[in-house]
Structure 1
Amino acid sequence: MKLSKTDKIKIIITIVAISFIQGLQFCVSPVLGPIQKHFPEAGVSMVQMLVTAPTLLSIVVALISGALVMKISKKKLLVFAGLVAGVTGFLPFLADSFWLLFASRALYGISLGLAIALNTAVVAEFFEGDERVAVMGIQAASVGAGMVVVTTVGGFLGGFGFEKSYFINSIGFISMLLIAFCLPDTGTVKTEQGEKLEMTPRVWTMTLLGALEMLFLITFSTNIAMHLGGSLAGSTVVSGNLTGVFSGAQIVMGLILGTVTKATKKYTLPIAMLSFSVGGLLVMLFPANYGMLIAGAVFCGFSQGMFIPTAMVEVSNAVKPAATAMAAACLTCGNCFGQFISPTVLNTASKLIFGETATSHVYLLAVIGMTAAAAAVILCTKKKLV
């Protein structure tokens, strides 16, 4: 499809809108501390799962979306995703109940699964070659921008009571309108008669790496509000700002991704993983030092901004065009599965190894795990096993 400059701008606006829907996953991240205090009957892991719970349903939805695009257009699915994000975001206002809040966050996973899987499919449909890499970087940057807005504004609103942070979910309705106005409706995905949506070994490799990356990377967002020490302890503004810095670093990395990948070449993914290791170490060692926490947030943000779009480009290039949505869905499932199990796996490991569940121990385990995974990827790359 030949696109005019105006058409490309509209599609990029759509990509940004979809990315903002993804950013809503972290809308409660800055207020996890106050939520834990307000609902003391809920354990630490359950409170942290307010961030990761959407990923469970998003795994199912992402897989289904790979087949749904052959029956329902991507535009209609994405408009629906925006609507669900807005509605579920306001459900917790109906009652002061942790389980209603948890259920609403889980149902938001419908939007998350559609947004993550189809955002990549939109990029792959309208852009090719180096332009695809550049736009995928813009996508990563816009996800970061969404997280900046969601977490900083959410953290600010949370200062007036954690319930006020729910208003940030208005972004879902705004995104719905932008997608409806800007995204061309190209209809359902067509396949040649007898053609199967086959996944290549490269897709499965990226799915495994995505699960490992997010298993450890999500610890930044799920633990930071409860990790702050000294005069910073309990501050929703500080935790919101740090998550915003994390997202800002993701934006910067997304904008320069094309240049970075040309320099790092086949080692882009393990370098992205090691960036988290540096950031996680700084966060673990300096819970009361605002400057060092910001530096840690930057390195962690660089990791996500480099890893996710690069992996998405890898899977989209590894399959035929008709299978792009399914390949993106597979990677999405890996990412979401890693996020979902992260609190349970790492908190349990902390308890077993150190005798207590502490954020510093969780960060230590995440740093060790990510470093080991990056080393394995580097070794396999050198031996041309991946």
Structure 2
Amino acid sequence: MKQVSAKTTISILSLSTVSGITTVITGIIPQLKQTFPTIPTTFIEWLVTIANLSALLTLLLNPYLVRKFNLRKVVISGLVISGLCGLIPALTNNFWLIMFSRILLGLGIGLFSPHAISLIAHTYHGNLRARLLGYQTGLSALGNALLLGLAGLLISLSWHAVFWLHMILFIIAILVGFFVPEPVVKEEDTTHSIKLPSRQWKLIALTFLTYLLIWGVQLKLPSYFEIHQFGNAQVINLTLAAMNIGGLIAGLTFGYLHQRLHRFTLTLGYAGASMAVLLLWTTNNSSVAIGSAIFFNYIYSYTGPYLVFTSNAGLKPNQVNTLSSFLTIATIISAFFAPVVWNQLGKVGPKTLTDNVLLWVTVALAIIAFLTLISKPQNKNLINKKQ
């Protein structure tokens, strides 16, 4: 088997650093509320997540587009479209134009985002694949951390300046264009059925719920910090950045932890996240709140690579493409519905809407942790063989 060059590996993994580019504006939600006081909170939060809905269109078309134009062209086109549309809000105060640009941003994201996973699955095998899938989650967290950290600095200029961070997408497009070859898929695999086993559909559903819960925390954290006076806009952005550093550590250590805990890695992720959000919900200390938020993202970041690695076990190359698209669709749908779901559920509970959301998240995480603890492992031999 031909050894993959370091430049290719770096270029493939660089896609992961911008996979969460839509969240770079999460920390400016309070500023956007002040700028657009007549716009409902759900619509403000949709500026963060609306791109995930429009991405569904190009995600569904992705298999056809890859067959027609090849994977590299699709990825590069997606990066360029996202870069151009992501810059529009830096130049306008028109809320609906900003919303429209975010919708167009999603069309580009749907072209490149699933291939942050599928390129790893096509190019690498065995233990190296498992490690790189862990790195993929970690680098996604690192990319978000760096972008959010830069956003925390740029917000001192204006919230418009944060949108200039989308320039990074053009750099990634250049890397892919120069150093990532078109993956080779065997002819017999291209005609193989692309139906997924029922177990994969269950994991896709769990992925949807997993990301719906993390969106509940991420969308409400800026308002929660503001309400409880845990810090200003810069503190919020730096906390979000530090949370992603926690995710980076989890991604880098996933392979090591999974070799020892196996399926209980998932239980650890949900149980630890539940305790972290509970501590965040009960504390009045800003340092404890910041620490809880960081620990939440660290421990919860073990769930993502576990779900991806486990769901890829035993699949054909063309099924890997299909699965990657559906996993991305699950995360995208969860992001779109999160503002609606949490703003409605938040009305039920003993405290403010924002506090109630964190309480609902705590309970849901605890229930899922318990269910994963008592569930029986499936296809154990197959998963172990893939490790």
Q: TM-score, normalised by structure 1?
A: 0.91
Q: What does residue 78 of structure 2 align with?
A: 81
Q: What does residue 320 of structure 1 align with?
A: 316
Per-residue deviation, 1:174 = 1.3
Q: What does residue 3 of structure 1 align with?
A: 3
User: 2:154 touches 2:162 (CA, 8 Å); kept in 1?
Assistant: yes
> Which runs of 5 or more residues in structure 1 are unaligned?
none
What does 1:361-372 correspond to in 2, within 5 Å?
361-372=356-367
Q: 1:248 to 1:333 in 2, by over 3 A?
A: same
> Which of 179, 196, 209 pairs up with 1:182?
179
Matched, 1:162 2:152: no
> Which of 230, 234, 246 pairs up with 1:249?
246
Q: 1:134 to 1:105 in 2, by over 3 A?
A: same
- Stretches of 4+ aligned residues off by more than 6 angstroms: 382-386
Per-residue deviation, 1:211 = 0.8
Matched, 1:334 2:330: yes
User: 1:198 touches 1:323 (CA, 8 Å); kept in 2?
Assistant: yes
Partners of 1:127 and 1:384 in 2: CA distance: 22
Partner secondary structure for residue 381 of structure 1: coil
Q: 1:355 to 1:112 in 2, by over 3 A?
A: farther
Matched, 1:26 2:62: no
Per-residue deviation, 1:190 = 4.3
Matched, 1:117 2:117: no
Q: What does residue 69 of structure 1 align with?
A: 66
Question: Which residue identity lines up with residue 106 of structure 1 in the other structure?
Answer: I
Question: Which residue identity lines up with residue 330 of structure 1 in the other structure?
Answer: F
Partners of 2:375 and 2:60 in 1: CA distance: 28
Indicate the larger mover: 30-39 or 376-385: 376-385
Q: What does residue 288 of structure 2 align with?
A: 292
Per-residue deviation, 1:126 = 1.0
Q: Deviations over 1:165-196 (max 9, x none)?
A: 11111111111111112211236774447422
User: 1:273 touches 1:371 (CA, 8 Å); kept in 2?
Assistant: yes
User: 1:91 touches 1:104 (CA, 8 Å); kept in 2?
Assistant: yes
User: 1:232 touches 1:238 (CA, 8 Å); kept in 2?
Assistant: no
Partner secondary structure for residue 322 of structure 1: helix
Question: Which residue identity lines up with residue 304 of structure 2 in the other structure?
Answer: I
User: 2:190 touches 2:318 (CA, 8 Å); kept in 1?
Assistant: no
Per-residue deviation, 1:271 = 2.1
Indicate the larger mover: 320-329 or 228-237: 228-237
Q: TM-score, normalised by structure 2?
A: 0.91
Indicate the larger mover: 300-309 or 167-176: 300-309
Per-residue deviation, 1:163 = 0.9
Q: What does residue 12 of structure 2 align with?
A: 15
Partners of 1:277 and 1:384 in 2: CA distance: 28
Q: 1:140 to 1:383 in 2, by over 3 A?
A: closer
Q: 1:364 to 1:193 in 2, by over 3 A?
A: closer
Q: 1:263 to 1:165 in 2, by over 3 A?
A: same
Partners of 1:139 and 1:30 in 2: CA distance: 23
Q: 1:116 to 1:273 in 2, by over 3 A?
A: farther
What does 1:1-386 correspond to in 2, within 5 Å?
1-4=1-4, 7=5, 9-186=6-183, 190-192=187-189, 194-229=191-226, 232=229, 235-286=232-283, 289-351=285-347, 353-354=348-349, 358-381=353-376
Partners of 1:239 and 1:52 in 2: CA distance: 18
Question: Which residue identity lines up with residue 319 of structure 2 in the other structure?
Answer: A
Indicate the larger mover: 15-24 or 253-262: 15-24
Percent of aligned positions that are identical:
21
Partners of 2:254 and 2:33 in 1: CA distance: 37
User: 1:20 touches 1:171 (CA, 8 Å); kept in 2?
Assistant: no
Partners of 2:274 and 2:57 in 1: CA distance: 30
Q: 1:187 to 1:103 in 2, by over 3 A?
A: farther
Per-residue deviation, 1:156 = 1.4
Partners of 1:204 and 1:231 in 2: CA distance: 40
User: How many pairs were matched up?
Assistant: 381
Question: Which residue identity lines up with residue 34 of structure 2 in the other structure?
Answer: K
> Which runs of 5 or more residues in structure 2 are unaligned?
none
Q: CA RMSD in A?
A: 2.4
Q: 1:171 to 1:304 in 2, by over 3 A?
A: farther
Question: Which residue identity lines up with residue 275 of structure 1 in the other structure?
Answer: G
User: 2:79 touches 2:109 (CA, 8 Å); kept in 1?
Assistant: no
User: 1:283 touches 1:293 (CA, 8 Å); kept in 2?
Assistant: yes
Q: Deviations over 1:201-230 (max 9, x none)?
A: 121011110011011111222111111147
Per-residue deviation, 1:61 = 2.5
User: 1:226 touches 1:233 (CA, 8 Å); kept in 2?
Assistant: no
User: 2:55 touches 2:332 (CA, 8 Å); kept in 1?
Assistant: yes
Partners of 2:185 and 2:379 in 1: CA distance: 37
